[in-house]
Chain A
């Protein structure tokens, strides 16, 4: 189980982004984190997998624990290599100037052994679209293909926990459905998935539990079935709730209680 406890993150020593975030990602489940732009979703993922220093960010309080090992002092390649936690950045992090196959190989670099060619075939079997694009430069792939390649690359690192940052970004609804189908089947094979999304509908349909983050704080959490019916989530993230006209001042105010971890 991956646990984030009371995490506070600042960028450039002054810009406070997360103000005490706590959540749990139980083994073998899909956990989803919903939130608007600038809520701190990506920052949270960066903090978990040690990418903050690259962006001049720092954890000033709190901890990230995998089982009982703190991850927040380690650098990212150790986290990927030893703790099998892989983060797929938003906006399709493939290497544009390498071919699809080279991308998969490059991603397997940290755990290179004889099984790599076989693993590449496994990924190709999971994403049949990539087979014919094997020798095409990844920059020329379509958005959906790039996103599938990115997930495939993450799988090449043999993760136990896969963190996906907005996999649906900029993809057609049909592709999104396909992608989430794959995410679900990966989870059924035992992979723990932590999903960060704006597309609340798709995300909640595959998730077991969900969290809602707003302005660097978790404001809501619960089983995904419960969140789907929640009045606030329906209004702000699903856009389906019928509410009478409200004053703008009152918008986006949750009936919050202070959450103690």
Chain B
């Protein structure tokens, strides 16, 4: 039982950072109906921006974190202006394909500048190791959960409590309607990409803190796909729930199935869960069921 609880809760903690990753994708999908396949590379870029500020320039954590995320936001904004903006009003598929190309360019760029060797990435945060009986959760994992949850709540507060969040919601619902009330969708798309990049970059930092940061960290970005599809591509709570489901399923598989020799099975299991979810609920657990008439 202890073993179960141990892996269950550590899965939850990892799942929270997947949720944050998923939030980034959901925001972009809601605003432009495009899927951002460059999510893994965005994570690595976010991680490296923070790495430079914190480890190379030795800025204290509390200054480096907001600055790193600001830099990530600027990065997202630049990407949006250079690649996405010119596609406004075009089918969402072309935006999605652009992000595929973006993913290749960025991963090449990262490998060219940072190489593919891992960078040690251990944040000097207060020790929050939780020990309860035989259960033990190492400090980086607890921090991953706390930071992810904090960012998630901040972004949700921004979306649901500020007027910028209000226009993001409005424009996500209908661009023509927003246009005729004088809301500029280009500005909204820029804002959305900046915020989404912050989410993805923050989860990059959190994930890197669990091990090391390298160009391969972008593979974690692949987890975002089952996360958002299980939760529903256009649902913000769905991202969190999907993240938790993927995290828990992964941890439990790692604990119970892999010892039987199925090494690497935990990478696959989220996709199996995804398949089952989509059989039962094609729009994901919380996704809006859309009626499309042809």
Q: Which residue numbers of A lie inside 8 Å of B, CB to CB?
A: 49, 51, 53-56, 75-77, 80-81, 86-89, 93-98, 102-103, 105-107, 109-112, 153-154, 156-157
Contacts and interface: CB of A to CB of B under 8 A. Distances in A.
Given A98-B166, A105-B163, A109-B163, A76 B182 contact: yes
A109 B184 CA distance: 10
User: Which 6 pairs, one residue from A and one from B, show the smallest C-beta to C-beta distance?
Assistant: A80-B182, A110-B182, A77-B184, A106-B170, A107-B181, A93-B177
B6 interface: no
Nearest to B181: A107
Given A54-B175, A112-B163, A93 B180 contact: yes
B179 A106 contact: no
B82 to A, nearest CB: 20
Given A54-B89, A54-B176, A105-B163, A86 B170 contact: no
Contacts of B89: 53-54, 56
B180 A86 contact: yes
B258 interface: no
A87 B183 contact: no
Nearest to B168: A106
A93 to B, nearest CB: 4
A64 B183 CA distance: 21
A89 B181 CA distance: 10
B183 A51 contact: no
A180 to B, nearest CB: 21
6 contacts: A80-B180, A95-B169, A95-B174, A98-B173, A106-B163, A154-B181
Contacts, number: 81
B167 interface: yes
Given A56-B89, A77-B184, A80-B181, 14 more contacts: A54-B175, A76-B182, A86-B182, A87-B180, A93-B180, A95-B173, A98-B166, A98-B169, A103-B170, A106-B167, A106-B183, A107-B182, A109-B166, A110-B183
A157 B175 CA distance: 17
A81 B184 CA distance: 10
Nearest to B175: A54
B167 A88 contact: no
Nearest to B180: A87
Contacts of B184: 75, 77, 110
Given A54-B89, A105-B163, A112-B163, A77 B169 contact: no
Interface residues on B, range: 10 to 19
Given A53-B89, A54-B89, A77-B184, A97 B179 contact: no
B170 A157 contact: no
Nearest to B174: A95
A51 B181 CA distance: 11
A87 B182 CA distance: 10
Given A54-B89, A76-B182, A109 B167 contact: yes
Contacts of A154: 181
Contacts of B182: 76-77, 80-81, 86, 107, 109-111, 157
Given A51-B176, A53-B89, A157 B181 contact: yes
Contacts of B180: 49, 51, 76, 80, 86-89, 93
Contacts of B176: 51, 54-55, 89, 93
A26 B173 CA distance: 35
Nearest to A49: B180
Contacts of A96: 173
A154 B181 CA distance: 7
A93 B171 CA distance: 12
A139 to B, nearest CB: 10
A49 B176 CA distance: 12
A183 to B, nearest CB: 18
Given A51-B176, A54-B176, A112-B163, A97 B169 contact: yes
Nearest to A94: B177
B172 to A, nearest CB: 9
A89 B183 CA distance: 14
Contacts of A55: 176
Nearest to B183: A109
Contacts of A89: 176-177, 180
Nearest to B185: A77
Interface string B174-200: 111111111110000000000000000
A111 B166 CA distance: 14
A208 to B, nearest CB: 24
Nearest to B188: A109
Interface string B212-241: 000000000000000000000000000000
